[in-house]
């Protein structure tokens, strides 16, 4: 037979709410934890009273009195303050001493605005005394004013302090004033935290800040380098969501402006600062957009090593005890250099764990792969760069601490406007094809000057033989997925720069599923209409092998590969570069210079 639910009577419910508040209040919690609350028939409380307190810390409450929770808060606090203030002293006039102590406690609670006194105990308190002793001497000399005889919790005519406790197993030797002193210290500390927003006001519905939210507030208030970026991101602390997304500690979603912090990781505030700074730096340093064809996870691992080294040097927070990537041997290396080392042993580094987990990058992949090509994506990128640059300026102006030189260098580099792809391509030509030295010769004289027609003038011509070997190979992806506009722009730029750098001939190969060798072509012919062959599948490796083994192609001639990125793994043994559409990546290919149209 099922048991019926027994509803709590309203009087008991109100008392329990008041007692729970006292137990949670920082000032009264140490006193309440050592006291015993007795609310049963036959206790020491008089019939007309509310409660009395004994010397050993027992508080006897009337079992049938009805009061609101605020009134019970006032009554219980009154009794506990008798213990905390050390009022249990034997005096010549014990009744006057009890009244003096009641008056002093009532004034204290009135100033605290704690609880609400019952109607029969509510009396105007318009005096100011330094101590109970002074008030006791006044009562001895002048008597007790009528309005102060109703301030005790035992009722008028009764004492609410019992010096002699009844015989009971409850007999503790407690330093009550010391407990009250600890409570006062806790109350002051709690008041500061409530004012700062780190802790909820007692009894309020507002939730206290979590460790991650405290870390975010610290960045906004005390660390200008990352404060602007931290303010723009939303902190998500949902353990179920983190479990569904396989986030063991933290991750960042650049597109959604969200940082996921898994509360199940159990990080303290200092560890939260470290992890949050780590995720913010991923965004500020544009690691999501700088992969440029690299494997996303391995690139994430390389960036993690760099960021964690910087954060350790800066002394920002504490390295999490639950995980993270740190290797002293990689100190001072760039993310690109570390990535090049990682790809030589992919099996080992595939087993490493970022803050998201093993084999997963803590930079969340965007829901729309080409989101940064849209207008809002471009504005986000500009915001991240400007926020980090301004933060660096504020950080240095306010002398907030030393920063690693590598981090400062990267932030300043991000502040510079991006270089156009054709300008970068021109620099590539300058690197491989420096201007040909010119000499003066009389073999082919220049025009004579009108003022001295009898004097021949030498002409400046390129030094004979310097043009030999000034060539390079162009591998053109002519598969069906290749954009014709990309081909036109790339070939036009190649022809223009080849002519200006005195490149006489260019070796051109078309390739889709097969290789079509066009042989050497003059730059002027490349700029003209070219009959592109192919438009089938994409196989680039045979074209590269042909150029590298061709006897009529210079051994040090560089390669320029024009593709849309949809190709297999490549093996290239000479200097090379790629021309790619924006937003496309080259999976599993050797690292080379990339120009994005």
In this predicted structure, the answer to whether residue 116 has a pLDDT above a threshold of 80 is yes
Amino acid 221: pLDDT:
83
> For 86-224, where are the E strands, in sequence order?
161-162
Give the percent of the chain with pLDDT over 70. Answer: 80
Cut 0.85: pTM above it? no
pLDDT value at 82 more than 70: yes
Question: pLDDT grade, residue 393 (50/70/90)?
Answer: confident
**Binning pLDDT at 50, 70 and 90, where does residue 252 land?**
very high
222 C-beta neighbours (distance < 10 Å), count: 10
Beta bridge partners of 236: 260
Q: Compute the C-alpha angle 501/504/506, nearest 5°.
A: 95
- Dihedral sign computed on CA atoms, order 222, 225, 229, 234: negative
Q: What are phi and psi of 440, to 5 degrees?
A: -90, 140
- pLDDT, tens only, 523-552: 888 866 656 665 556 778 888 888 888 888
pLDDT of residue 108: 87
Domain with CATH 3.40.50.410 in the chain: 470-596
Query: Average pLDDT of 257-279?
Result: 90
- Pick from 297-306, 437-446, 570-579 the range whose average pLDDT is largest: 297-306
Per-residue pLDDT at 458? 74
For 331-370, the pLDDT digits (tens) are 888 888 888 788 777 677 777 888 998 888 889 876 555 4
| Contacts for 263 with CB less than 8 Å, ≥ 6 apart | 210, 212, 237, 239
pLDDT at 587: 56
Q: Which of 59-68, 156-165, 414-423, 573-582 has the highest mean pLDDT?
A: 59-68
Q: Is pLDDT of 434 > 90?
A: no
Q: Could you give the CA distance from residue 203 to residue 529 in angstroms, rounded to a whole number?
A: 80
Q: Which residue has the tokens 């019926």?
A: 4
Q: pLDDT of 84-95, one tens digit each?
A: 998 988 888 888
Q: Picking from 65-69, 372-376, 433-437, 494-498, which range would have the lowest pLDDT averaged per residue?
A: 372-376
Residues linked to residue 587 through DSSP beta bridges, in sequence order:
none
Q: Which of 246, 245, 244, 314 is nearest to 278 (CA)?
A: 314
Among 173-187, 312-326, 417-431, where is mean pLDDT lowest? Answer: 417-431
pLDDT at 444: 60
* CA of residue 505 relative to chain centroid, distance: 54
The model's pLDDT over 471-522, given as tens digits with 9 standing for 90+, comes to 898 888 887 777 777 788 888 888 888 888 888 888 988 887 788 888 888 8
pLDDT for the residue numbered 392? 81
User: In whole numbers, what is the pLDDT of the chain averaged over residues?
Assistant: 80
Report yes or no: 176 and 86 within 8 Å, Cβ to Cβ: yes
pLDDT, average across residues 7-16 = 81
Q: Report the Cα–Cα distance between both ends of the chain, in Å, rounded.
A: 79
Q: Is it the case that residue 466 has pLDDT exceeding 60?
A: no
Contact between 83 and 57 (Cβ < 8 Å): yes
What is the model's pLDDT at position 341?
80
Report residue 375's pLDDT band, with 50, 70 and 90 as the boundaries.
very low
Spatial CB neighbours of 119, under 8 Å, sequence gap ≥ 6: none
Residue 142 has phi, psi (to 5 degrees) of: -115, -5
* pLDDT > 90? residue 259: yes
Q: For 15-66, how does the pLDDT look when each residue is reduced to its tens digit (9 = 90+)? A: 999 998 888 888 888 888 888 898 888 888 888 889 999 888 889 999 888 8
Which pLDDT does position 366 carry in this prediction? 67
If you average pLDDT over residues 464-477, what whole number do you get? 75
DSSP assignment letter at 358: B
Nearest Cα residue to 132 out of 158, 161, 165: 161
Question: Is the confidence at residue 574, as pLDDT, over 70?
Answer: yes
- Interval 386-415 mean pLDDT: 76
The domain 470-596 is placed in CATH, from the list 2.60.40.10, 3.40.50.410, 1.10.287.1770, 3.50.7.10, at 3.40.50.410
Query: Quick one: average pLDDT of 128-141?
Result: 82
Q: Count H helices and E strands in the chain, helices first.
A: 19, 15
pLDDT of res. 255: 83
Provide the CB-side half-sphere exposure for 252 (13 A, CA): 23
pLDDT band for position 378 (50/70/90)?
A: very low
Mean pLDDT of 193-198: 56
- pLDDT confidence tier of residue 7, bands split at 50, 70 and 90: low
């Amino acid at each position: 037979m099922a048991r019926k639910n027994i509803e709590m009577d309203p009087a008991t419910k109100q008392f329990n709410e008041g007692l729970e508040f006292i137990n949670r209040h920082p000032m009264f919690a140490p006193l309440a934890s050592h006291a015993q609350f007795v609310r049963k028939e036959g206790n020491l409380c008089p019939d007309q009273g509310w409660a009395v307190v004994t010397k050993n810390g027992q508080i006897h409450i009337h079992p049938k009195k009805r009061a609101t929770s605020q009134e019970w808060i006032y009554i219980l606090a009154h009794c506990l303050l008798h213990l905390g203030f050390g009022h249990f002293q034997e005096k010549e006039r014990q009744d006057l001493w009890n009244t003096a102590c009641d008056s002093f406690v009532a004034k204290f609670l009135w100033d605290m605005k704690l609880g609400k006194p019952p109607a029969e105990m509510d009396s105007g308190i318009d005096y100011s005394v330094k101590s109970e002793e002074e008030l006791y001497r006044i009562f001895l000399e002048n008597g007790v004013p009528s309005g102060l005889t109703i301030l005790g919790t035992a009722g008028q005519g009764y004492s609410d302090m019992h010096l002699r406790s009844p015989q009971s197993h409850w007999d503790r030797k407690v330093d009550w004033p010391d407990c009250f002193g600890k409570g006062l210290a806790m109350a002051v500390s709690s008041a500061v935290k409530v004012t700062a927003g780190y802790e909820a006001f007692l009894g309020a519905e507002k939730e206290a800040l979590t460790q991650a939210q405290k870390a975010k507030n610290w960045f906004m208030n005390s660390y200008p380098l990352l404060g602007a970026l931290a303010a723009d991101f939303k902190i998500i602390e949902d353990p179920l969501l983190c479990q569904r997304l396989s986030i063991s500690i933290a991750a960042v979603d650049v597109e959604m402006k969200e940082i996921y912090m898994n509360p199940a990781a159990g990080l303290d505030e200092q560890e939260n600062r470290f992890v949050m700074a780590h995720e913010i730096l991923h965004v500020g340093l544009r690691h999501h957009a700088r992969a440029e064809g690299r494997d996303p996870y391995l690139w994430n691992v390389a960036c993690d090593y760099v960021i964690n080294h910087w954060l350790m040097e800066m002394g920002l927070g504490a390295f999490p005890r639950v995980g993270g990537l740190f290797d002293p041997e990689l100190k001072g290396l760039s993310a690109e250099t570390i990535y090049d080392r990682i790809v030589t042993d992919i099996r080992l580094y595939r087993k490493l764990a970022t803050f998201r987990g093993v084999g997963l990058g803590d930079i969340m992949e965007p829901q729309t792969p080409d989101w940064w090509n849209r207008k809002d994506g471009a504005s986000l990128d500009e915001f991240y760069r400007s926020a980090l640059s301004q933060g660096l300026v504020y950080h240095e102006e306010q002398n907030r601490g030393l920063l690693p030189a590598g981090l400062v260098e990267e932030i300043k580099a991000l502040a510079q406007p991006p270089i156009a792809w054709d300008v970068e391509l021109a620099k590539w030509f300058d690197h491989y094809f420096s201007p040909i030295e010119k000499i003066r010769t009389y073999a082919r004289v220049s025009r004579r000057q009108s003022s001295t027609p009898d004097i021949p003038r030498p002409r400046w011509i390129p030094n004979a033989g310097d043009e030999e070997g000034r060539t390079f190979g162009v591998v053109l992806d002519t598969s069906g997925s290749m954009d014709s506009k990309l081909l036109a722009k790339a070939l036009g730029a190649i022809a223009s720069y080849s002519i200006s750098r005195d490149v006489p001939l260019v070796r051109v190969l078309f390739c889709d599923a097969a290789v079509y060798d066009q042989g050497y072509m003059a730059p002027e012919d490349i700029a003209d209409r070219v009959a592109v062959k192919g438009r089938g599948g994409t196989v680039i490796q045979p074209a590269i092998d042909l150029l590298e083994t061709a006897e009529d192609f210079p051994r040090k001639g560089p390669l320029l590969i024009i593709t849309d990125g949809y190709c297999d793994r490549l093996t290239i043994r000479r200097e090379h570069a790629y021309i790619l559409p924006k937003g496309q990546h080259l999976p599993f290919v050797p690292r080379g210079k990339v120009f994005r149209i």
